[in-house]
């Protein structure tokens, strides 16, 4: 299978994933690259017959990477000339990538880094600052701690790629997990850092979180160099500058110092004899205070004033500290300005051992304040909370809006040099950090493997729909920039709904603010990437996956495994559900990249069904005496079971987990055994057996059941041909009847279905039934409902009221900054329009009426 670069060739070690059609590749089959490039491969998922479904592959940095590579199954791979090796014990590991040796020893992340036997770096460690009062109370009493590694685990040991996991804590709080990625021949290490916030929001305020490394400084101060990135180039400085002096050391000296080369002997006596009178600049700081600007400053020593340096807009978040002959360290943080407040520090550059720190939360910023955003507004009872839901759409409940257990993942890089690199080389490294290399199969290759259900590559005969899909994606890219949807906890998410009166998204209105995966924008973006192969779509979906999988989900504590519904704060809603932590939203990124952190998130859902013992999603509106019972737990057959099925399927195909397999197949059989199948709405699961009670004879339909990944995961399950025809019948009945005329519904199940809504979204269910049964009437109905959005009693889709989709420019005194507005777009409708369009074009394109949509502008 041919793979090509997503964003363009990168001279760095990379890992990627590939799908294989069922039954075509045996698990014992080796993989190689046709051109002989050394390759390391492993299996990340299997089909039910045991054949390879997804494989992962890694190559080391190539001096001249090819434009494409051919992955060949059944051929032994080449081995690297200098393989990466991992030796030693759990408490004292040595990783060698060729010229560079990394020594890992507790309590730090890395005890020492050597280049050709010479120590360049020591004591790579996590650092944090904590205070017990917020800044608005005037507190700056900060306590510093270093993260202490408690466990070191080798996950891969070469020959092309090695992965070491380090788990620990920052003193008595903030558990962290760090993975270090090493590649054969690479002088750099990729650092993926995750921490879980486990403090008390009323008394624990994180005032700084960073990664520090000590750099050995051997060169004379005028041969020591500092580089800090702006948007494109670098601040280019020496610790003791020889340019701009009253006495000129000579053009050759000045050129050498600016280029980062040794200046050699300074022959001008007027300069050489006065070097001790030229200040040495010991400390540097680049502070990215917002998405729009950074501040630069330096000083000669502690106790002396900082000197301002011309500042800028968006730093690439990369720096270098070291010497012309003694070597040094490149360091940086991905998405630096997008994850503000961030900071790069250099301290002690004029001493024997300097320190470089990448701050993921800048100590210059106000301490992180995660207290709840309002006082409850008197909503002490369920009745009052339901009233609040009616007016602000916020599902509030005292004690439920806690951040305890949410997480954030950052990607950093450390690059060891034997001498100061050129600015062009540093710019290349910064670009590789900002947009890491990835090889990917073309959409046609992915489609041929029959993974991820119903989708197809774009067809020029339906260009009008394709242009609308492009319009919606481009609109969210534009909105992210114009509305500055950036920041430590926010980057990666989008807003839920729009306020046309204020010309802004409803960032401050209860449940209308951050979207938190509501109605599956994650799925829409990933399917749009699969079918187009667009790098910008991939990167947008990647950022959303990083955010929604970490920030919107609890990773420890009472609600571990559950996510929070949309709110002004990502964790603010009292509705904690599996529909947000849904494995269906993470599987794409995991399989396409083999990212281990995303694998952790999927593993957290191994026993997701047990979360229903913790909290009843319907507790505020129940009229019966239901109490969670481990032998009769209420589970929605829509949002709940869809998330469970995704978690079970993923665990089965990744790990061969028979428990997950049995629960998946058992509940599928039970749904087929219910008198009304999916129309039953709810079922009771016995945790001891993992099976549903099939005696419930009821009909209850929710318009939300099929908009959180249920159709997509069921399509995958039916494609697996698991020998459960009654399950497929139950699903096809639901797909046929949801948008059927009321008289047909009554004729088949004895009553018309109530609560039918989100009509355009559900047109893809009708299309699926049409494709499976070959019924042209259902195909006609699906396209009509998609195009006209008929009879939507609750949520009439504004996308279909607009004959022509267009933007309106709003500027002047009416708005904070000029923006491009599309008042008819909400994230619910955009995501579901995208999914419906993609699936109708895949399932029943031949049945589409000849009328076309007006083109967007």
Q: What is the mean pLDDT of residues 297-324?
A: 97
Share of the chain above pLDDT 70, in %: 99
Residue 795 is predicted with a pLDDT of 60
- The reported pLDDT for the residue numbered 132 is 94
Which among 587, 700, 686, 575 has a CA at the least distance from the CA of 645? 587
Mean pLDDT of the chain: 96
Architecture, CATH, for domain 85-266+274-370+401-433: Distorted Sandwich (2.70)
Averaged pLDDT, 120-132 = 97
**Residue 673: which H helix or E strand, with range?**
helix 658-673
pLDDT in tens, 218-235: 999 999 999 999 999 999
The pLDDT value recorded for residue 552 is 98
CA-wise closest residue to 586 among 624, 550, 623: 550
Confidence band, pLDDT 50/70/90 cuts, at residue 791: low
Mean pLDDT of 710-737: 98
The reported pLDDT for the residue numbered 701 is 96
The reported pLDDT for the residue numbered 137 is: 75
Residues facing residue 343 across a β-bridge: 287, 359
| Residue-level pLDDT at 369 | 97
Interatomic CA distance for residues 833 and 476, integer angstroms: 14
- The percentage of residues in the chain with a pLDDT greater than 90, rounded to a whole number, is 94
- What is the helix (H) or strand (E) element at residue 206, kind and residue range? strand 205-216
* Per-residue model confidence as pLDDT tens digits over 372-413: 999 999 999 999 999 999 999 999 999 999 999 999 999 999
Angstrom CA distances, 600 to 178, 252, 409, stand at: 12, 54, 12
Q: Distance between CA 851 and CA 132 in Å, rounded?
A: 64
Instruction: Please give the CATH topology (third level) of the domain spanning 446-847.
Output: Glycosyltransferase (1.50.10)
pLDDT the model gives residue 852:
77
Average pLDDT over residues 596-605: 98
Task: Kindly tell me if the per-residue pLDDT of 796 is higher than 80.
Answer: no
Domain ranges of the chain: 2-73, 85-266+274-370+401-433, 446-847
Which pLDDT band holds residue 802 (cuts at 50, 70, 90)?
confident
pLDDT per residue over 130-141, tens digit each?
999 998 877 678
Residue 165: pLDDT above 60?
Answer: yes
Evaluated on CA atoms 464, 469, 474, 480, the torsion sign reads positive
Residues 445-468 pLDDT 10s:
999 999 999 999 999 999 999 999
| Mean pLDDT (whole number) for 304-329 | 97
Kindly tell me if the per-residue pLDDT of 507 is higher than 80: yes
pLDDT at residue 794, as a whole number: 55
Report which secondary-structure segment, H or E, holds 734. Answer: helix 725-737
pLDDT confidence band for 506 (50 / 70 / 90): very high
How many CB atoms sit inside 10 A of residue 277's CB? 7
| Residue 792: per-residue pLDDT | 64
Average pLDDT estimate for 479-492: 98
Report, as an integer, the average pLDDT of 36-59.
Answer: 98
Q: Residue 303 burial by CB count (10 A; 0-12/13-18/19+): exposed, middle or buried?
A: exposed
The reported pTM is 0.97
């Amino acid at each position: 299978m041919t793979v090509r670069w997503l964003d363009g060739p990168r001279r760095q070690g990379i890992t990627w994933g590939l799908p294989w059609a069922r039954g075509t590749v045996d698990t014992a089959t080796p993989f190689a690259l046709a051109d002989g490039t050394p390759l390391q491969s492993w299996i990340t998922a299997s089909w039910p017959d045991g054949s390879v479904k997804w494989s992962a592959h890694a190559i080391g940095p190539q001096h001249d990477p090819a434009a494409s590579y051919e992955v060949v199954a059944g051929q032994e791979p080449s081995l690297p000339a200098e393989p990466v090796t991992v030796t030693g014990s759990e408490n004292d590991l040595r990783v060698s990538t060729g010229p560079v040796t990394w020594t890992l020893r507790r309590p730090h992340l890395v005890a020492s880094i050597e280049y050709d036997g010479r120590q360049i770096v020591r004591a790579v460690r996590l650092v944090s600052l904590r205070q017990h009062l917020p800044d608005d109370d005037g507190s700056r009493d900060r306590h510093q701690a270093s993260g202490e590694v408690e466990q070191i685990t080798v996950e891969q040991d070469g020959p092309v790629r090695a992965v070491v996991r380090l788990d620990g804590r920052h003193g008595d709080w903030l558990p962290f997990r760090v993975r270090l990625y090493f590649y054969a021949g690479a002088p750099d290490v990729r650092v993926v850092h995750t921490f879980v916030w486990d403090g008390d929001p009323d008394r624990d305020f994180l005032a700084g979180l960073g990664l520090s490394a000590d750099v050995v400084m051997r060169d004379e101060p005028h041969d020591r160099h500092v580089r800090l990135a702006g948007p494109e180039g670098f601040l280019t400085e020496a610790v003791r500058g020889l340019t701009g002096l009253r006495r000129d050391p000579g053009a050759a000296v000045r050129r050498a110092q600016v280029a980062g080369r040794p200046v050699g002997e300074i022959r001008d006596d007027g300069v050489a004899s006065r070097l001790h009178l030229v200040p040495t600049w010991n400390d540097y700081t680049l502070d990215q205070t917002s998405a729009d600007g950074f501040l630069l400053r330096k000083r000669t020593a502690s106790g002396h004033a900082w000197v301002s340096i011309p500042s800028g807009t968006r730093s690439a978040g990369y720096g270098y500290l070291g010497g012309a002959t003694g070597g040094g360290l490149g360091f940086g943080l991905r998405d630096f300005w997008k994850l503000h407040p961030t900071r790069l520090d250099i301290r002690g550059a004029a001493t024997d051992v300097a320190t470089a720190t990448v701050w993921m939360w800048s100590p210059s910023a106000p301490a992180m304040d995660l207290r709840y955003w309002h006082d409850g507004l008197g909503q002490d009872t369920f009745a009052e909370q339901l009233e609040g839901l009616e007016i602000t759409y916020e599902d509030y409940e005292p004690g439920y809006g806690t951040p305890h257990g949410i997480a954030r993942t950052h990607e950093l890089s450390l690059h060891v040099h034997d001498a100061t690199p050129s600015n062009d080389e540093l710019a290349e490294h910064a670009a590789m950090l900002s947009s890491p290399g990835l090889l990917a199969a073309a959409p046609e290759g992915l489609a041929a493997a029959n993974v991820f259900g119903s989708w197809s590559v774009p067809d020029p005969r339906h260009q009008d729909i394709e242009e609308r899909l492009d319009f919606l994606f481009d609109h969210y890219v534009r909105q992210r920039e114009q509305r500055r949807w950036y920041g430590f906890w926010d980057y990666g998410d989008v807003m839920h709904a729009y306020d046309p009166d204020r010309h802004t998204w409803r960032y401050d209105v209860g449940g209308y603010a951050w979207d938190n995966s509501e109605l599956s924008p994650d799925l829409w973006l990933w399917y749009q990437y699969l079918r187009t192969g667009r790098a910008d779509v991939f990167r947008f979906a990647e950022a959303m996956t990083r955010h929604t999988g970490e920030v919107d989900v609890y990773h420890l504590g009472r609600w571990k495994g559950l996510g929070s519904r949309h709110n002004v704060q990502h964790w603010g809603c009292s509705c904690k559900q599996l529909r947000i932590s849904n494995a269906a939203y993470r599987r794409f990124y995991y399989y396409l990249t083999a990212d281990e952190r995303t694998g952790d998130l999927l593993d957290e859902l191994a026993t997701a069904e047990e979360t229903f013992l913790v909290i009843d999603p319907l507790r505020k509106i129940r009229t019966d005496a239901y109490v969670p019972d481990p032998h009769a737990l209420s589970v929605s057959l829509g949002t709940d079971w869809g998330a469970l099925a995704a978690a079970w399927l993923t665990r089965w195909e990744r790990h061969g987990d028979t428990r997950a397999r049995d629960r998946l197949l058992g509940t599928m059989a039970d749904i087929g055994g219910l008198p009304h199948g999916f129309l039953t709405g709810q079922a009771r699961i016995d945790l001891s057996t993992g099976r549903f009670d099939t005696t419930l004879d009821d009909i209850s339909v929710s318009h939300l059941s099929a908009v959180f990944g249920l159709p997509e995961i069921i399509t995958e399950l039916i494609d697996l041909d698991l020998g459960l025809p009654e399950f497929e019948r139950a699903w096809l009945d639901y797909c046929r009847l949801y948008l059927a005329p009321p008289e047909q519904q009554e004729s088949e199940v004895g009553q018309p279905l109530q609560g039918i809504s989100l009509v355009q979204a559900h047109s893809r269910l009708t299309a699926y039934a049409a494709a499976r049964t070959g019924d042209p009437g259902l195909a006609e109905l699906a396209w009509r409902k998609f195009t006209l959005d008929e009879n939507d009693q609750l949520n009439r889709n504004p996308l279909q009221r607009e004959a022509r989709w267009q933007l309106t420019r709003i500027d002047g005194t009416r708005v904070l900054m000029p923006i491009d507005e599309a008042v008819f777009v909400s994230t619910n409708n955009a995501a579901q329009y995208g999914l419906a369009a993609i699936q109708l074009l895949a399932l029943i394109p031949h049945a589409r009426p000849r009328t076309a949509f007006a083109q967007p502008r």
